Amino acid sequence: MQKRKLGKSDLEVSTIGLGCMGMSHGYGPASDKKDMISLIHEAVDRGVTFFDTAEVYGPYVNEELVGEALAPFKGRVNIATKFGIQMVNGKQVLDSKPERFRKSIEGSLKRLKVDTIDLYYQHRVDPSVPIEEVAGVMQDLIKEGKIKHWGLSEAGVETIRRAHSIYPLTAIQSEYSMMWRSPEDELLPTLEELGIGFVPFSPLGKGFLTGKINKDATFGSSDFRSIVPRFKPENIEANQVLVELIKKIAVGKDAAPAQIALAWVLAQKQWIVPIPGTRKLERLEENLGAADVELTHEELNDLNNALSKIEISGDRYPAEYANRVGK
């Protein structure tokens, strides 16, 4: 597995990371813990060194899973986690107040079984806490040796600039894929200017770009996609045009559709590290194989021209979640 550096930092990770959220949160009932520990070990064996989790996934159980799975590999892997979303009466509540912040980092260190967290994100910008205050606490945590690097998730460019001016950011995490290209407008140019790495989540469009979801698909109540407008049957049907384009290219490259979708993300910038998630070994191997799929400059231009003519149907978040991004 090749490696990439996140921006101008010294944080070097595998070209493709592993998003661990879906193992225990967001995509239906949690999978068997032993099976997921085994899968994480398989990822390490295949060269993955970058693993993503968060305090709220579960909550807590995903960090516990990742901590237990990666305990034998200390010093060989990098773990990213997040704070700033609390579950209160079954609802997600933003809370980045310094006292909550301090409790969160201590809890994450304990669950992840580490003395230092490699990359610590604010999960969503909390409008009630100035980003300069968050950056100041992050700076203190770095000085204390509790974290090595910090980042923001789904933040707007002005917030990123303000945060970066207090203490340099290593990475920004946001959704990015062939079906969600908004980061190209302002975010990617800003990150390039500032020397900040980019970690796209849902680079496979929450599974849609694998080509395995059609209008007859159903999602259980514990699957986040059940409330996402993009996954309403009429929008799934309308967006098949994108899947057909990817499948056509995949045939020509002797690759899987998922590999084309990931190769496209990787080809955008050398400081981009996607973190597709999976619970299955065959999907893990398929995703990691994308690092070996090379799209030529001409192929990328043709693909981008085709993508520009496709209008994606359905929002990526329901309104209550959409209101928390880009702040």
* Residues known to be catalytic: 57
d(CA 66, CA 44): 12
Q: What is the CA radius of gyration of the chain?
A: 19
Residue 60 CB partners (closer than 8 Å, separation 6+) = 107, 111
Question: What's the residue count for the chain?
Answer: 327
DSSP for 157-213, please give it.
HHHHHHHHHHS---EEEEE-BTTB-GGGTTHHHHHHHHT-EEEEE-TTTTTGGGT--
d(CA 28, CA 219): 8
Kindly state the tokens that stand for 85: 């979303």
Residue 44 · residue 75 · CB < 8 Å: no
Cis amide bond preceding 276, omega within 30:
no
DSSP for 202-216, please give it.
-TTTTTGGGT---TT
Per-residue CA distances from 115 to 83, 125, 147, 269 (Å): 17, 26, 8, 32
